[in-house]
Amino acid sequence: MERRAFVSEKELEYQRECAERVRAVHAGETAWVDTYGCQQNEADSERMRGMLRDMGYILVSDEHADVVVINSCAVREHAEQRVFGNIGHMTHTKKENPNMKIILAGCMAGEETVREKVRRSYRHVDALLDTTSFWRLPETLLRLYEDGGRIIEDGEPDSRIAEELPVVRTSPYKAHVSIMYGCNNFCSYCIVPYVRGRERSRLPEDVIREVRELAESGCHDIMLLGQNVNSYSGGGKSFAELLAACAELEGDFVLRFMTSHPKDCSRELIDVIASHPKVERHIHLPVQSGSDEILRRMNRRYTAEHYISLIDYAREKIPGVIFTSDIIIGFPDESEEDFERTLDLVRRVRYDSLFTFIYSKRSGTPAAEMPDPVTHAEKVERFRRLNALQDSITLEDRAPLVGRTMRVHIDGESRTGELNLTARTQDGRLVSLKGSTELIGGWHTVKVTGVSTFSLSAELA
């Protein structure tokens, strides 16, 4: 990996200078980073909070803050509508506080159509900052304060890596570590490659150092993140090698990773999971569809048979491994037969749980041009059938867990119900239990008392 792929030290130094200048005038004002979408956005938000803290802002969760950064998601239209709805409301907030700065960051900021819409109709948004340039947050704020006006720039995503950004972590026990950025796969339905730029990997030494520091600070749950972690290639290392190196570090933590792409998921990786107890016995392996014809039109570059062979290999090598997946229902012209292939695959794999989505047309992607005679009502009906099937599988396969003891990490308090604590099993399942809040932040042994499609309930053993 050449250093050319990185934002230079000089450019980062300039951002720190801008941060100092903002701080001199605005220290003590408030800032809110509101996050939508995936873990990658959560990770980016933690860095933006780090930069805002260094500029002297007090971090709050309040739309009346002096700076509001909306870290948006563009993967489905529904997510975009929600963001636009919330930005719409902020016209009033800004009237009350005209000095307020509103920045639309994240995936939506990388979309041509969004830029146009914001230029024309959302005039109270001061700046757009896409996912490849959020490290310019200090410079952006300084320009807004000093020059006035709005910053909405067109252009391609930057596709470089900014190391050593400050960070405010949401939890001392759980952390996301980005190992790579962007995506080169161009699945035909997906907007991510257009807004997050070309795939680029961090250097293994940088990732390993970050994981080591987290482990030393007492972090118990570390998630390695990338749009397609299996194609990681930093400093000549494969993802399997990087994962093994991280899993060999000292500390009482579990190592998770997402997302894996079936076309690049190697047997070597499965062997690393099998031989490293710190790596969770869970693979999130999005299949998207069980029909080879749909997979071909999705540009996924594997067949259902190849996918099943990976599952079988992993089950053989990693006893008790669980799988989760993403499935899109109603891809353009998906026939009843294609859909049945998906149901067959779900019955064959028996996922622990699924993330299911109804196809959402994203302008600029190849799938948006494909004819789609299937009605929305039909798609909703398939969506319901798929979820009903998965719910029955989840409940059947979890039922034998009742009465078993397992090690869980207690993460925090639950907002609802009498089981007041939330925890996670080593393989990533959600657990609810009753107990003292003093247990938060530690590993504990619990006995499972019940199962649902959403979580396990348990009591301290």
As beta bridge partners, residue 283 has: 323
Q: Is residue 228 part of the contact set for ligand SF4 (CB under 6 A)?
A: yes
3-state secondary structure 353-415: EEEEEECCCCCCCHHHHCCCCCCHHHHHHHHHHHHHHHHHHHHHHHHHHCCCEEEEEEEEECC
Q: Which of residues 379-418 bind ligand 5AD (CB under 6 A)?
A: none
Which range binds ligand SF4 by CB under 6 A, 28-36, 190-198, 249-257, 341-349?
190-198
CA distance 168 to 274: 33
- For ligand SF4, which stretch binds (CB under 6 A), given 169-177, 188-196, 218-226, 289-297? 188-196
Task: For the chain, give percent helix, strand, coil, nearest 5.
Answer: 40, 20, 35
Which pair of tokens denotes residue 184?
């080169």
Q: Which of 190, 207, 208, 272 binds ligand SF4 (CB under 6 A)?
A: 190
Contact letters for ligand 5AD, residues 72-111 (x by CB under 6 A): ---xx-----------------------------------
**What is the rounded distance in angstroms from the CA atom of residue 99 to the CA atom of residue 92?**
13
Cα separation, 202 vs 196, whole angstroms: 15
Asked if 356 is part of the footprint of ligand SF4 (rule: CB under 6 A), the reply reads no
Q: Which of 31, 129, 192, 295 binds ligand SF4 (CB under 6 A)?
A: 192
Q: How far is the CB of 280 from ligand 5AD (least distance, A)?
A: 19
- The interface partner of residue 281, options being ligand SF4, ligand 5AD, none and the CB cut-off 5 to 8 Å by kind, is none
Burial status of residue 434 (CB atoms within 10 A of its CB: 0-12, 13-18, 19 or more): middle
What SS3 class is residue 132?
A: coil
Please report how close the Cβ of residue 1 comes to ligand SF4 at its closest, in angstroms: 20
Nearer to ligand 5AD, 321 or 367 (CB): 367
**Residue 288 contacts ligand 5AD per CB under 6 A:** yes
Q: Is 362 in the site for ligand 5AD (CB under 6 A)?
A: yes
- Out of 17, 62, 164, 186, name the contact with ligand SF4 by CB under 6 A: 186
Which pair of structure tokens corresponds to residue 164?
Answer: 């050593």
The dihedral through the CA atoms of 177, 183, 185, 190 has a sign that is: positive
Quick check: 190 binds ligand 5AD (CB under 6 A)? yes
In whole angstroms, give the CA distance from residue 106 to residue 127: 12
The conformation of residue 97, written as its DSSP 8-state character, comes to -
From ligand SF4, ligand 5AD, none, which one binds at residue 323 (CB under 5 to 8 Å depending on kind)?
none
Using CB under 6 A as the binding rule, whether residue 183 contacts ligand SF4 is answered as: yes
Q: Per rule CB under 6 A, is residue 286 in the interface with ligand 5AD?
A: yes
Smallest separation, CB 385 to ligand 5AD (Å) = 17
Residue 185 binds ligand SF4 (CB under 6 A): yes
* Residue whose CB is less far from ligand SF4, 356 or 425: 356
Specify the DSSP element, H or E, that contains 128: strand 127-129
Reduce the DSSP state of residue 287 to 3 states and report it: coil
Q: For the CB of residue 37, give the shortest distance to ligand 5AD in the complex, in Å.
A: 9
Q: Write the interaction track for ligand SF4 spanning residues 244-273; mark x where CB under 6 A is met and - where it is not.
A: -----------------x------------
Three-class DSSP labels, 2-67: CHHHECCHHHHHHHHHHHHHHHHHHCCCEEEEEECCCHHHHHHHHHHHHHHHHCCCEECCCCCCCE
Residues that bind ligand SF4 (CB under 6 A): 183, 185-187, 190, 192-193, 227-228, 261
